[in-house]
Amino acid sequence: MSDHPSDDALFQLGMDLDPRSSTAQTEETNTPCSETSGEEARDFFCEQDGVRFAGTHLLVDLIGAERLDDLQHVEDTLRRCVEASRATLLHIHLHHFTPNGGVSGVAVLAESHISIHSWPEYNYAALDLFMCGASEPHRAVDVLRFAFSPERVVVKEMLRGKEMFRWKSGSKRRSIRASASA
């Protein structure tokens, strides 16, 4: 185990940051989530309607969806979701199950993640989109709608971290305005 928790998380995903390793990935280090301003690191928490929070978490259900067993289509769709959300892709890892062809996986982002779990035998997929900073996860919903042609899309939104007392009581850290696009 590493002294750095993020290195351990990457190792658990089958990656590490050792350039000599066959699974080493180049990680983007000049992202909005790692910028600093003066002596104080920017936290990239959001503020919307006077509420501060860590990020927007969307739970998306695709009902009556198609192409949920097409591994390349799922990967391409996740990449388009990242682009539409104005997020920064670090890594995608997908697993194709047999015999039903379901796909489970994650797009690891500098801003957090997008995960998918599909049950093609039921024409159903559950997605999880969590992003911090200036990213716009709501923009990915239209990408999913176009890619999988579901009969129904259910989206539930959570503002993660808004219950934390230190943010409600006036943290000295700056926040950015959350996007209003949906």
Identify the CATH number of the domain in which residue 128 sits. 3.60.90.10
Q: Is residue 147 part of a domain?
A: yes
Annotation says 118 is catalytic: no
Name residues whose C-beta falls within 8 Å of residue 51's C-beta, 6 or more positions apart in sequence. Answer: 159, 162
Number of domains the chain contains: 1
Closest CA to 154 of 178, 128, 132: 128
Q: Is residue 177 part of a domain?
A: no
Q: Is residue 44 part of a domain?
A: no
Annotated catalytic residue: which of 112, 135, 175, 179? 112
| Top-confidence residue, 110 or 168 | 110
Q: Is residue 17 part of a domain?
A: no
What is the pLDDT, as a whole number, of residue 133? 84
Q: Count other Cβ atoms within 10 Å, centred on residue 16.
A: 18
What is the pLDDT, as a whole number, of residue 81? 98
Q: Is residue 182 part of a domain?
A: no
Annotation says 112 is catalytic: yes
Q: Is residue 2 part of a domain?
A: no
For residue 99, say if its preceding peptide bond is cis, omega within 30 degrees of 0.
yes
Annotated catalytic residue: which of 73, 93, 113, 117? 117
Q: Return the minimum-mean-pLDDT range out of 44-58, 79-93, 143-157.
A: 44-58
Q: Return the minimum-mean-pLDDT range out of 15-24, 64-73, 137-146.
A: 15-24
- pLDDT per residue as tens digits for the range 15-41: 444 444 333 343 333 333 333 344 444
Annotation says 117 is catalytic: yes
Q: How far is CA 181 from CA 29, 89, 102, 144, 176, in A?
A: 27, 21, 31, 16, 15
Q: Is residue 151 part of a domain?
A: yes
Annotated catalytic residue: which of 33, 118, 132, 179? 132
Q: Is residue 155 part of a domain?
A: yes
Q: Return the minimum-mean-pLDDT range out of 25-34, 101-110, 166-175.
A: 25-34
Identify the domain containing residue 155 by its residue range: 51-164
